[in-house]
Each structure stands twice: as C-alpha cells, then as structure tokens.
Amino acid sequence: MVLTMTLELSISVVDTIMLGHYSALHLAAVGLASSLWLPVGCFLIGVTFGITPLVTRHLHGRQPKLVNLYMSQAVGLSVGLGVLASLVAITILPYFAGLMATEEETRQVSVTYLYIFAPALPMLALMTAYKNLFEAAGRPGFPLFVASFGLVLNILFNYVLIFGNFGFPEMGAKGAALASALSLYLAVALFFVYDRFLNKTPLFTRLVWRYTRKFSILLNVGAPAGFAFAFEVGLFSSMTWLISSFGDLALGGGQIVMSYTSFLFTPMMAMSAVTAIVVAKAMSKEGVDGVRKRIRVIVWLGLTYVSSCFVITQVFHEQIPFIYSNNAEVVALAASILLISSCYQFPDMLQTVFTGALRGFRDTRSTMIAFAVSLFGLSIPFGFWLSHYSPWAETLSLRGFYIGLGAGLTLLAVILIMRFRVILVRYEGRRIASPREVA
C-alpha cells in the first residue's frame, strides 16, 4: 500500500520535474492550477475513504455480499460529486487563477490546464474507490500493478506531449494535464476489466442501481474524512495562494517544496490507510488491547521513516531543488524552505497515523473539526502574521507561512492523540463484531 501510494504521487513529481526543465512559468502555472483543483480532488478521494473500515469489517464479519452495496454507493458518489467538481474546475477555479497569477502567460496556462484536466476528476474518485476496495480486502498487489503501469504511461505521455517528441505537438503544461487525465481513465479501466473478467474471486460483483442514489451510509463516514483531507491539502494549496503575492518565481519555488514534501508524505498517507484497516480488524477480533499493540508498532515505524527524511533533507536541501529546476533564484528559495518543512514532518506523521486510527473506529467528524481548528485557526493566521506583520517579517518573508504550518500541524497532532485516547477508553472491553454494529 505504501509503494502503491508513492507510485501514484510520483506522477505529480514527474510532471513537476519535466515542467521545471521545460519552463519556469509553466511550472508556476501548474503549481497554481494544482493548488486550486487539489482540495476539490482530495475531497472526492476522502469521501471514498469510508469504504476502508466498512469493507474491512464486512469481509472479516463474513458478510461479503454487502460489499456490493458500498461499492455501488461509491460509484454513485464518485460520478455525481465528480461531475460537480469538474463543473467547479471549469467555471469557478479559472477566475481565481486569473486573480492570483501575476504574469499573463501563467494565467493562460493555468486556466488551460484546468480545462483539460477537469473531466478526469470523476475518474480520480473511482480509481481511489477501487484501490481502497482491494486494499481493504487484503489484496494490495493489483493496485500496486496499476500504479506502476500508470506511472510508466505518464512518463511516456509527458515526454511525448510536453516536449513534442515523436512528431507530436509541443504542448508544455497542456501536455502534462492531458497525460494525467489519460492515466486516470486507463487506471479505472484496468481495475474494472480485472475485477470483472480476470479476478478469480471478484470483489465488486454487481452494481446495485438503487444504491448508486442511496449513499447515506458511505457519505456519513466518508464526507467528514473528505473534508478533513481537503482541509489539509487546502492548507498546502493556500500556501500557494498566499505566496503568489511574492511573484511567479516564488510560486515555482513553492511548487518544488510542495512536490518534494508531498512525495515524502505519501508513505505516511498510506500508513494512515493501513492504520484504518489494522484498527478495524483488531477491534473486530481482539478489542482495544490489539489496537494499542498495533498503534505502537505503526508509530515507531513512522518515527523511523520521518527521522530518515529529516536527515536527508537537512543534508541535501541545496541539491534537491536542482532535480526540479535549473533556475537559480527558484532553487535558492526552495532550498531555504526545505530546511523548515523537514522539521514539521514529525507532527505531520503523528496526525496522519492517528487520523487513520480514528477512521478505523469510523470517527471522522472529530478529525474534520480538529483539522479545521488547527490548520485554519492557527496555521494561516500565525503564518500570515510572521510573514507580514511580525518583527521578523522582512527576514522571514514567505518562509513565515511554513513556520505557521508547522505550528498548526503540531496542535493537530496533539488534539488527535487526545481524541484517540478518549475513544479507546470508550471501547474498553468491547469488540465490533455483531452485524448490527458493523453496519
């Protein structure tokens, strides 16, 4: 699961690297466009997170037929909300892109990117639903294959469409948008064909049409998770919006930092999904003691991983940005921000793990509230003050926003750990095993 999610995010990294070597303005434009559509797309992804604890408990509770009901709800949600998200990306987001871009070329490229990529948003949700289904069933192998195949295709599509190789027109950022959209459609097609025609023990055997419109159960669990995920990604996106006032080169530097830190964050995000599955299984079989034992292991794994990332980033912070761009000013700015971003990976890991643990208990509303309070109540106001009004504003410049981000993530981690302890006390001596409790 960690490898799968890392490979999926590598598609974005490939886009950033290739565009960084193509044009600094195109890199800034895609960074701006991504900051606008990512919160919308991540809400779609987060809504499908509800499948994980529900499917896990049904499969281990010997109720596999009910999986069809939840996947039918996922199809209805993905298509319905995906179409709505596509309309937002085409009609509303270009307006904000025009407001934030300082160069006319950056604005035009951002708007065109949104127009090309928007129709693929329903496929983003469907692909995530299928991936969550296979991973919740303990079959992460095929999602790994799809992610690997999609990455290879995306590299090929980018090479051909961005730079205009093999007789194709040189499209720049437009080519990156088209490559990403094609990869998503092909990924959904692979999942459908495999599960329907090649899988010896198919998971999603029948689409129950009435449940494509009756998705209240999945929405009740998934919507708060979707909002929480969108809040977190929206915070990173708002960094792009806030630093746009410092110029388009600052946007390019911010995009490099976002791409790199997101790549490092991906294994932790996968650990969150793993934690949700592990907690749901442990509660159905062993109870709270089993949950505590597994959480300790996951936290130690996370600490080992982020410690390694911290050392690598601190040592090579000046060299890493050159992977993405050869513009000296963009590289210098990104290098200074990487020193700060490497520090907030520790609280970021903790909040990610305990978000997954709470999702395993189907407690997603408290997570949503915690994200909103800590990230938008502390991170943005504190970061804005540091960058614009504090005594150190002139020295910190846009770096103040990233210090504020670290403060918000620390508060978030503390809140989620305290909430998890409360939930454990509530479930002490119980197991989630009966069909009524599972449903």
Above 60 in pLDDT, residue 439?
no
Residues 135 and 196 in one domain: yes
Measured between alpha carbons, how far is 86 from 238 in angstroms, rounded to an integer?
20
Total number of domains in the chain: 2
48 lies in some domain: yes
Query: How many whole angstroms separate alpha carbon 407 and alpha carbon 80?
Result: 36
Give the Cα separation of 23 and 271 in Å (integer): 35
268 burial via Cβ count (<10 Å: 0-12, 13-18, 19+): buried
Residue 74 lies in a domain: yes
Q: Check whether residue 298 and residue 201 sit in a common domain.
A: no
Determine contact, residues 432/283, Cβ cutoff 8 Å: yes
User: Do the domain assignments include residue 57?
Assistant: yes
Answer yes or no: do 313 and 261 share one domain.
yes
For 308-347, how does the pLDDT look when each residue is reduced to its tens digit (9 = 90+)? 999 999 999 889 888 887 788 888 888 888 988 888 889 9
Percent of the chain past pLDDT 70, that is, above it, reads 91
Residues 362 and 402 both lie in one domain:
yes
Same-domain pairing of 298 and 433: yes
Dmax over CA atoms of the chain, in Å, equals: 67
Name the more confident of 223 and 420. 420
Same domain, 251 and 155: no
Q: Are residues 345 and 391 in the same domain?
A: yes
Identify whether residues 269 and 188 lie together within a single domain: no
Which residues lie closer than 8 Å to 183 by C-beta, 6 or more apart? 11, 150, 153, 154, 157
Neighbour-count burial of 283, counting CB atoms closer than 10 A to its CB (0-12 exposed, 13-18 middle, 19+ buried): buried
For residue 219, being part of any structural domain is answered with: no
Query: CA nearest 282: which of 269, 274, 291?
Result: 291
| Whether residue 406 sits in one domain with residue 272 | yes
Residue with tokens 């069909």: 435
Q: Give the pLDDT score at 64.
A: 60
Q: Does one domain contain both 155 and 256? A: no
Query: Helices marked H in 194-327 — which ranges?
Result: 216-243, 248-285, 288-316
Out of 179, 211, 243, pick the residue that ends a domain. 211
- Shared domain for 196 and 241, answered yes or no, is no
What was the pLDDT predicted at 429? 66
The reply to whether 216 falls in a domain is no
What's the CA gap between 295 and 358, in Å, rounded? 11
Give the C-alpha distances (Å, rounded to integers) separating 318 from 124, 314, 399, 402: 34, 9, 16, 18
Q: What is the pLDDT of residue 244?
A: 67
- Average pLDDT of the chain? 83
Number of CB atoms found within 10 A of residue 385's CB: 13
Please tell me the predicted confidence (pLDDT) of residue 430.
63
195 within 8 A of 339, measured Cβ to Cβ: no
Q: Among 211, 242, 270, which residue terminates a domain?
A: 211
The SS3 of residue 336 is: helix
| Residue 131 confidence (pLDDT) above 50 | yes
The verdict on residue 226 lying in a domain is no
In a domain, 161, yes or no: yes
Range of the domain at 127: 1-211
13: helix, strand or coil: helix
pLDDT tens sequence across 261-299: 877 887 887 788 788 888 888 887 778 888 899 999 999
User: What pLDDT was estimated at residue 186?
Assistant: 93
Check whether residue 241 and residue 192 sit in a common domain: no
